[in-house]
């Protein structure tokens, strides 16, 4: 489905940070290039190792970015929400997809073909600057993950994971800070690089100490900073 400008304002490209600072004239050039796709919960959107010629922008929903280790274990590299994009590396360097991306719920995406994307980078430098900024942040996050996996204990890994989730997916709540995403114990373990049993044990400890709770929608709520617990 090709995306067209919506005069009623039902959809606005400015909701996507990559395009938020562009002029109306620049946005008008982008709308006809985008197509909307929908994926149900659990469906693989892109797969590690395959060829990629499309960049995806998240209009609504969340996806998880994963890689598999040699022994078959899954490592969650990131969780991306509304306004984020993925698939840009293969488009930029013509190499195979570096990770698998899966829908965590019903997801609505906008797709942009490689040729159109590269053309936009040449014609609208502001998009290239945004791409560089996001890639820089992701590189820093990757460095932090390497540090966590290499030098921290299981407890420190889980605490670091929760702190990062709170910073990137947390919103104010009367009780503290609530995560906007719902994660299973296994997904948390795959993010932290620990066993599910270790994560379950530490979460129970945090609940018993009054540091976190879970709301009816299975979203974690941080009642205190973990450093205070």
Distances (CA, A) of 75 to 21, 30, 38, 174, 193: 34, 34, 25, 33, 7
Burial of 160 (C-beta count, 10 Å sphere; 0-12/13-18/19+): middle
pLDDT at 14 over 70: yes
pLDDT at 13 over 90: no
State the pLDDT at residue 7: 38
- Measure the CA–CA gap between 142 and 148, rounded to whole angstroms: 10
Which stretch of DSSP H or E encloses residue 135? helix 125-151
Cβ neighbours of residue 1 closer than 8 Å, sequence gap 6 or more: 35, 36, 37
* pLDDT level of residue 21 (50, 70, 90 thresholds): confident
- Measure the CA–CA gap between 199 and 165, rounded to whole angstroms: 15
pLDDT at 157 over 50: yes
Average pLDDT, the chain: 89
pLDDT in tens, 62-115: 999 999 877 777 889 999 999 999 999 999 999 999 999 999 999 999 999 999
State the pLDDT at residue 11: 63
State the pLDDT at residue 218: 87
State the pLDDT at residue 144: 86
State the pLDDT at residue 5: 44
- Measure the CA–CA gap between 94 and 82, rounded to whole angstroms: 26
Distances (CA, A) of 98 to 9, 87, 93, 94, 176: 35, 9, 11, 11, 36
pLDDT in tens, 158-197: 999 999 999 999 999 999 999 999 999 999 999 998 999 9
pLDDT at 2 over 90: no
Cβ neighbours of residue 117 closer than 8 Å, sequence gap 6 or more: 55, 88, 91
User: Averaged over 133-156, what is the pLDDT?
Assistant: 86
pLDDT in tens, 24-55: 899 988 999 999 999 999 999 999 999 999 99
User: Within its chain, how far is the Cα of 151 from the centroid?
Assistant: 24
């Amino acid at each position: 489905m090709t995306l067209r400008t919506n005069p009623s304002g039902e959809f606005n490209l400015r909701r996507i940070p990559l395009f938020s600072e562009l002029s109306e004239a620049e946005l008008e050039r982008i709308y006809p290039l985008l197509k909307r796709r929908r994926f149900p919960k659990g469906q693989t959107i892109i797969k590690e190792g395959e060829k990629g010629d499309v960049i995806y922008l998240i209009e609504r929903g969340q996806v998880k970015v994963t890689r598999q280790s040699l022994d078959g274990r899954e490592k969650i590299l990131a969780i991306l929400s509304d306004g984020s994009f993925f698939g840009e590396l293969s488009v930029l360097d013509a190499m195979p997809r570096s990770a698998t991306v899966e829908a965590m719920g019903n997801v609505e995406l906008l797709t942009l073909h490689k040729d159109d994307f590269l053309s936009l980078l040449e014609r609208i430098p502001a998009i290239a600057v945004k791409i560089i900024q996001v890639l820089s942040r992701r590189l820093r996050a990757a460095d932090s993950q390497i540090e966590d996996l290499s030098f921290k204990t299981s407890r420190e890994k889980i605490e670091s994971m929760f702190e990062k989730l709170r910073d990137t997916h947390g919103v104010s709540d009367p009780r503290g800070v609530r995560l906007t995403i719902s994660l299973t114990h296994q997904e948390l373990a795959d993010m932290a690089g620990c066993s599910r049993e270790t994560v379950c044990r530490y979460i129970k400890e945090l609940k018993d100490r009054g540091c976190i709770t879970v709301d009816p929608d299975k979203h974690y709520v941080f009642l205190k900073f973990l450093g205070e617990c």
